[in-house]
Amino acid sequence: MVLADTAGRLHTNINLMDQMKKIVRVTKPDLLIFVDEAIAGNDAVERARLFNESVPIGGSILTKTDADAKGGSAISIAYITGKPVLFLGVGQTYPDLVKFEPHWLVDRLMGEAEA
């Protein structure tokens, strides 16, 4: 397993995105996971779209969902990329990285689940 932190590799910087394409081409990863903050809202959705267009992702992880009012960016990112949300970060510890459960998100959007 290789983890590459692309923080600061903005989707608007063409040179850095081209470099990332080369890394993916050379390493031939089995799975690419897009990670962003749920509280980033539409900015996270746009980043996911552009990253997926550059280096097709296999899924997403959204962090800081405990600080997001509803979590609608999860639906938008899954829709725009056509790839599933795999995990949600709901706190600061390892056990706070939880498997994404669609029913939980729907309940939360409907105001029936705790944040």
Return all residues near 113 (Cβ < 8 A) that are at least 6 apart.
Answer: 104, 107
Q: What is the CATH number of the domain that holds 95?
A: 3.40.50.300
Tens digit of each residue's pLDDT (9 = 90 or more) over 52-108? 998 899 999 998 888 765 667 888 999 999 999 999 998 899 999 999 988 877 887
Does 18 fall in a domain?
no
Does 82 fall in a domain?
yes
Nearest to 90 by CA among 113, 57, 59, 56: 113
Structural domain total, the chain:
1
Does 51 fall in a domain?
yes
Does 91 fall in a domain?
yes
pTM, full prediction: 0.83
Structural domain for 45, as ranges: 38-109
Does 92 fall in a domain?
yes
Does 45 fall in a domain?
yes
